[in-house]
Structure formats: C-alpha cells, structure tokens
Amino acid sequence: MGRPAKPTALKLLQGNPGKRKLKKDGPAPAPLAEIPDAPEWLGEWAVEMWGTIAPWLTQTGIMTRTDTHNLAVFCAAYERWRLAEEEVASKGITVVDAKGVLKKNPACTVINEALRQVASFGAALGLDPASRARLMGSGGPEKPENPFIVLKGGRASK
C-alpha cells in the first residue's frame, strides 16, 4: 500500500517543483486557530501528552478539526503504554499464572500494541522527523553554488 496523498493545501504551501497539475477539489480542512481542549474521557497521562502536543500542532498549522481524533487516539495509546510499562516495572516481564506456570506478562503485549499505535498515529500527525518533513516540506539546506559558473564567466553570489 502506497503513501497517502498530501492534501492540496499542503502541496501549495510546499511548492510544486514537478509542476504537476494539482486537484482543485482536494480536501482542504482549515487549520485550527485555537488549541482544542482534550476530550473528557482521556486519562491523566493522555491529557498531559495532549497538553504537550496540541499547542505545537496548532501553532504550526498542522492541526485541523479532523485531526483531533487522531491526536486523541495517539494520547490514549501513549497512556496505555505508560500504564503497561509501570505494570512490567512492578511485576516483571514474566508472571506466574493460576496454574503456577511462568508466562509472559500480558502487559508486554499491551506495550507492543500501544507502541504500534503511537508510531502510526504519531506519523499521521507529523511527530517523527520523517513524517514531519513530509508534512511540512523539506526546508533543508540550499545547494552550494556551482564553482564552474564562475569559470564560465558567471558571478558568484557573495
């Protein structure tokens, strides 16, 4: 499965170096002007994460009303990860079941699933370097000037 298409508004912000035709009817939700409140059903760790990420997403213009659900799922998964990590820290990676058999702590499975969700929804929100570059454009350093232009009679830009 390929990468999802960028919204047209984002393509316009980043420029169109390939001069490809852009869709005029592409989805273009407006960025939020104010930082949204965290949903009431989120737990303590999730609300703390919301308070960390929502302001940045809003200030950068990434956050739209449709992204609030993605952020809520990201924060809830983050909280599940934290709670499961605390469980593993207190009881260990193995536990003894009712029959006296040593087995993997179920919290380890919760950790793995929560981290998958954190990575997936974090990428959708631009919370890792690769997806942030994809969402916000390259912004990398400019190419150095070609020294052969000066030899051909051109000017150096200094």
Q: pLDDT for 98-154, tens place per residue?
A: 999 999 999 999 999 999 999 999 998 988 888 877 766 655 445 556 666 656 666
Alpha-carbon Rg of the chain, whole angstroms? 23
Query: What are the residue boundaries of the structural domains of the chain, listed by start?
Result: 31-136
In this structure, which long-range contacts are made by residues 22-25, counting pairs with CB atoms below 8 Å and at least 24 apart in sequence? Answer: none
Say yes or no to pLDDT of 83 above 70.
Answer: yes
pLDDT category at 20 given cuts 50, 70, 90 is confident
Per-residue pLDDT tens digits for 30-81: 888 999 999 999 999 999 999 999 999 999 888 999 899 999 999 999 999 9
Residues 6+ apart with CB under 8 A from 43: 76, 79
